[in-house]
A and B are shown apart, each in its own frame.
Chain A
Amino acid sequence: MSTKDGSLGRRTFMRGALATAVALPLAGTLASCAAPSGNSSSSSSGAKKSSDNPFGLSETASIEAVIFNGGYGYDYVQYAAKQVQKKFGKTTIKVSPSTQIAQELQPRFVGGNPPDLIDNSGAGAIGFNTITDQLETLDDVFEADNYEGTKISDTLYPAVKDPGTYSGKFVALNYVMTVYAVWYSASLFDENGWTAPKTWDETLDLGSKAKAKGKYLFVWGKEAASYYLTMALDSAIKEGGKEVRLALENLEKNAWSQKPLMDVFKALETAVKNGFFVPGGAGTQFTAAQAKWSNDEQAILYPSGGWIENEMKKATKSGFKMTGAPEPTVSDSPTMPYESLRSAAGEPFIVPSQGKSPAGGKEILRAMLSKEAATNFSKTKLAPTIVKGLVPDDGFGSTALVSQTKMLDAAGDNVFNYQFYDYYGMNTDALVVWNSFLSGKLDATGLSQGMQKISDKVANDSSVKKLKVTD
């Protein structure tokens, strides 16, 4: 109204604008996080437990599942949900997809009304160190009979409980069997008379041979530089045995400068120095990098988990014959045989205790572990589940699936896994170090120091709940 006080009005306006402007970033970053409020848990009084209804699921329960919608989609859970519905006619089941599990479910955990079943996977997964206390133990799922009437624990691969067991509590049922290996094109290798390398010397040798043909040995992408970390750790653990792994798991002081690990780092350093890596990986998106291996055949080897076939389905050269081999070892006589594998069940399914119907969550898991649902999964996703013996010899037409089953059979009991990396959420920090290393900016010593620093930071942080790994 008063136009004559122009300067005053403007000053006030500026002050207001400033206040608003300052409020924006803060409010945006913080206020969007849900705040804790009252804690109301209500679990419906279940029905009587029986061998046919091992968790006492009430006939009229409504069950909610939130499933990570990544490489495997979420239709396989819907498939299992239909089986539950067939058995328990009056239940209602809602299966919804999500790609940002942590952001989406954080307010529900705080509010005390989480869904009954969650596939806590993907880049946006909830760190297990924060929610372990709020989860149901799932031992009774493995004790129950499956829908075909066999005890579930008798139908599974060994050690499938391990990756979901935190400080002795089995809270996450990992459904998909993931094998970590080095992948190559069998047709390309046959053509050139190459074989998958068993030691690092052979690997470097193969690198020179590939170079002679104008090809590279490895390729990496910026978001997946840590795949080489996985390969290095696996290789070192095979070489040095359990002690190497335990030191890393328990965040020990010199864990990252153990000899087997340094040997592997040095071999990798030589590979980097000799130009065996496709250059520019630190600036390349990882699927684009992977396509240089699967489609352009610029690189001949790629370390990854078994999901690689499904992930690169649309960018794989026809007749590629994707095949996996165990990671190379340092010497000819490693502590664990060459065939040993890091294999862990992946896709952790969790059942929050505060959900409306934890029994319902467990019942869906039981259905997923039945022969029918598990076979459906392998057939449609070309990946083995933790239920063994369901992949036929032709692997539903997938060479990668066949080689995964073969590697698992050859490894037998020599299967290991480690949890510290994902448990403490080290990936973001480790990627930085590994991108530098693979670009040739860090040497093996620098790499080892960089990783030790990340490990020490967690070890010295008293607010982080630590894992205790003894076996």
Chain B
Amino acid sequence: MTSTTTTPGGLERPAVRRRRRKLTFDRVSFMAVFLILPLAIFVIFVISPFVQALYYSLTDWTGFSPTMDFVGLSNYVKLFGDDIFLHALRNNVLLAVVVPFVTIVLALAISVMITIGGPSKGMIRGLKGSSFYRVISFFPYTVPAIVIGLIWAEVYDPSAGLLNGVLTGLGLKGFADFPWLGDTRTAMPVSMFVIVWSFVGFYTVLFVAAIKGVPAETLEAARLDGAGRLRMAVSIVIPQIRDNVQTAYIYLGIAALDAFVYMQAMNPGGGPDNSTLTMSQELFTVAFRKGQFGYATAMGVVLAAVTLLFAAVVFTVSRLTAGRDVPRAASVRRAEAAAPLAKESRA
């Protein structure tokens, strides 16, 4: 069907290149499938809920009535005087700072060990049995988040939990009946640990794939120049997979800004002294328990704004620390320069 229409189009193209192109069936159908349809889906399911949400955040909608009153910005004013919400906001910021950082450092360390951490003689390769470690590290990611949360909540149980069982078994009697999730000092760190634990495997696999894309010649050249494994990881691998790290950072940050499932499973009430309460949990409580959907929507808008801000910060930091394309170009140049050397050495 399309073959008949492409031939004339193809022939005419040079002549009409700079003028408006003819709307052939081919072009129209292409635009319909690849432009209009996705755009329509985007507008209907993404943009319009956004706009709707913005509107609801300016009303006093209870969530159960078909009517609502416009109240202007009073929800937002209330929001910034709401100590519980601000506490939740602080918790989320803490999560967004700590969780992605720790997860990425761990995932990078593991993936480097798996791919280039092996013996320093012969081919660049990972540790012995690296494929086994790779599979093992992926395990937590295959378990649904809610299950992870519930399992860890049991592990942290003061009297019947595995953790205190092990600790007291080792002779640390001070941990008998210690409420890991019920103490303001520990609730947040142990919750963060669970989130990190569940994500590390996935990002390890992601980074392993990225590192495999780093040309072996570059690494070999570096090794010839006397670089150790740590030096290779820091100076060659990480700059080369910078984009992956940045993407990972943003995704993890968004996961940490939400964190609803983990927190709801481990501490549905927001933890001791609200120390693990997240904005999404507070939003849920306000909407469904207190019946203030307008106010809850305002919280959602703030959550979205914080998420955007977070992404912007990550981009800026990434740009400021050496600019995005510079390291790649530089390393490629370096790789090109090093390539003949590497070949020679292999010969």
- By a beta-carbon cutoff of 8 Å, the part of chain A in contact with chain B is 7, 10, 14, 17-18, 21-31, 33, 35-39, 102-103, 106, 109-112, 124, 126-127, 129-131, 133-134, 222-223, 278-285, 288, 292, 424-425, 427-429, 431-432, 435-436, 439, 441, 461, 463-464
- Interface pair A26/B300, CB less than 8 Å apart: yes
Cβ-based interface call for B280 (8 A): yes
Cβ-based interface call for B183 (8 A): yes
Per DSSP, are chain B's interface residues mostly helix, strand or loop, or mixed? Answer: helix
CB pairs A–B below 8 angstroms (19 shown): A7-B325, A21-B251, A21-B311, A25-B257, A25-B258, A30-B52, A30-B53, A30-B297, A102-B289, A131-B291, A278-B177, A283-B157, A283-B179, A292-B159, A424-B290, A432-B270, A436-B273, A463-B71, A463-B292
B99 to chain A, nearest CB (A): 15
CA distance A455 to B280 in the complex (A): 23
CA distance A149 to B1 in the complex (A): 78
Cβ-based interface call for B61 (8 A): yes
Using known A-B contacts A18-B250, A25-B258, determine if residue A127 contacts B179 with beta carbons closer than 8 Å: no
- Interface pair B53/A31, CB less than 8 Å apart: yes
CA distance A78 to B329 in the complex (A): 72
- Interface pair A280/B63, CB less than 8 Å apart: no
- Interface pair B65/A33, CB less than 8 Å apart: no
List the B side residues contacting A441 at CB < 8 Å: 184, 272-273
Cβ-based interface call for B212 (8 A): no
The size bracket of the interface on B is 35 or more
CA distance A30 to B302 in the complex (A): 12
List the A side residues contacting B288 at CB < 8 Å: 102-103, 106, 124
**Residue from B247, B257, B270 in contact with A17 in the complex, judged by beta carbons closer than 8 Å:** B247
List the B side residues contacting A21 at CB < 8 Å: 250-251, 254, 307, 311
- Interface pair A283/B64, CB less than 8 Å apart: no
CA distance A461 to B290 in the complex (A): 12
With both beta carbons as reference points, the residue of chain B lying nearest to A436 in the complex is identified as B273
- Interface pair A29/B283, CB less than 8 Å apart: yes
List the B side residues contacting A10 at CB < 8 Å: 243
Cβ-based interface call for B171 (8 A): no
**Residue from B66, B68, B246, B308 in contact with A112 in the complex, judged by beta carbons closer than 8 Å:** B66
List the B side residues contacting A18 at CB < 8 Å: 250, 311
CA distance A427 to B269 in the complex (A): 9
Cβ-based interface call for B182 (8 A): yes
List the B side residues contacting A436 at CB < 8 Å: 272-273
- Interface pair A126/B247, CB less than 8 Å apart: no
- Interface pair B269/A431, CB less than 8 Å apart: yes
Cβ-based interface call for B268 (8 A): yes
With both beta carbons as reference points, the residue of chain A lying nearest to B251 in the complex is identified as A21
- Interface pair B269/A283, CB less than 8 Å apart: no
CA distance A461 to B62 in the complex (A): 14
**Residue from A33, A109, A285 in contact with B153 in the complex, judged by beta carbons closer than 8 Å:** A285
A286 to chain B, nearest CB (A): 10
The 4 closest A-B pairs by CB, nearest first: A283-B179, A282-B182, A280-B158, A283-B182
CA distance A35 to B267 in the complex (A): 30
With both beta carbons as reference points, the residue of chain B lying nearest to A284 in the complex is identified as B158
Segment 132-172 of B: residues with Cβ below 8 Å from A: 153, 156-160
Residue among B60, B63, B273, B287 with max Cβ neighbours from chain A (10 Å): B63
List the B side residues contacting A427 at CB < 8 Å: 289
CA distance A133 to B257 in the complex (A): 37
CA distance A28 to B46 in the complex (A): 10
With both beta carbons as reference points, the residue of chain B lying nearest to A35 in the complex is identified as B52
- Quick one: CB contact mask for B40-67 with A, threshold 8 Å, 1 for yes? 0000011001101100100011111111
List the B side residues contacting A285 at CB < 8 Å: 153, 157
